[in-house]
Chain A
Amino acid sequence: ETGVTQTPRHLVMGMTNKKSLKCEQHLGHNAMYWYKQSAKKPLELMFVYNFKEQTENNSVPSRFSPECPNSSHLFLHLHTLQPEDSALYLCASSRSSGGRGDTQYFGPGTRLTVL
């Protein structure tokens, strides 16, 4: 238990569906992250939020839309996804973004399958 929770843990959706992934951290951190891990590929950073402001968008397609209403919650809204978007989506948090030596704590991930 890392203090970072993600729901749902598993999600199957069609290409025309709209769904959202939720992440919540109970660590009092100010930075939150979304990562994507496709099969047999390294983790890829998608978005970074620091004090609710987006500080990094790693060239992510617009069909992925993040939202950070406060420092404890992070959402990833999904619409018109493609089968190649099937992956494990991981959320992480740290004390702050850009803090030297800060460590990231990861949630368990959401396994997404796009049909």
Chain B
Amino acid sequence: DAKTTQPPSMDCAEGRAANLPCNHSTISGNEYVYWYRQIHSQGPQYIIHGLKNNETNEMASLIITEDRKSSTLILPHATLRDTAVYYCIVGQGDKIIFGKGTRLHILP
């Protein structure tokens, strides 16, 4: 079973920041937090991952709480092309289990 809990769906206005929450209260010390997204019927796309520190790349920012029991993916300026299912996963490299994710709708 997936070790994360995400809301099933969220809406965000185009141009605003999308903040996607994830709970992972049973994460172990050597497990990373990964975020992927899947646009309809395509392969999942890697977004970002982190262990303890906050991370930022050209796509998004990842904020991990100090106790590592939850995290937030931030898409700073959402566009219609960001409409997708977003998966928060904890694991190590090959040991990742996908859950049901959050379906993010970007509203024009």
Judged by a CB distance under 8 angstroms, whether B27 is at the interface is: no
Q: Give every chain B residue within 8 A of A66 (Cβ-Cβ).
A: none
With a CB–CB cut-off of 8 A, which chain B residues contact A56?
Answer: 94
A96 to B92, CA, bound (A): 11
Q: Which residues of B contact A81 (CB under 8 A)?
A: none
Bound Cα distance from A98 to B93, whole angstroms: 6
Rounded to whole Å, the gap between the CB of B3 and the closest CB of chain A is 12
Stretch binding the partner chain, chosen from B10-18, B42-50, B64-72 = B42-50
Is the pair A2, B43 in contact by a Cβ cutoff of 8 Å?
Answer: yes
**Residue on A with the closest CB to B46?**
A103
Residue of A nearest to B30 (CB): A100
A interface footprint on B15-48 (CB within 8 Å = 1, 0 otherwise): 0000000000000001010100000011111100
Which residues in chain B, 59-108, are within 8 Å of chain A measured between CB atoms? 92-101
Q: Does A43 contact B (CB under 8 A)?
A: yes
Flag if A2 contacts B93 (CB, 8 Å): no
List residues of chain B with CB within 8 A of the CB of A50: 94
Q: How far is the CB of B103 from chain A (nearest CB, A)?
A: 12
Please determine whether A101 and B94 come into contact, CB atoms closer than 8 angstroms: no
CB neighbours (8 Å) of B97 from chain A are 42, 45
B99 neighbours in A (Cβ, 8 Å): 42
> Are A90's CB and B43's CB within 8 A?
yes
A97 to B95 Cα, complex, angstroms: 8
Do B43 and A42 touch across chains, with their CB atoms under 8 A apart? no
Bound Cα distance A95, B27 (Å): 23
Some 21 contacts from A to B, beta carbons below 8 A apart, are A2-B43, A2-B45, A31-B93, A31-B94, A33-B94, A42-B97, A42-B98, A55-B94, A90-B43, A92-B43, A97-B93, A97-B94, A101-B49, A101-B51, A102-B94, A103-B46, A103-B93, A106-B43, A106-B44, A108-B43, A111-B41
**Top 3 A-B pairs ranked by shortest CB distance?**
A106-B43, A102-B93, A43-B98
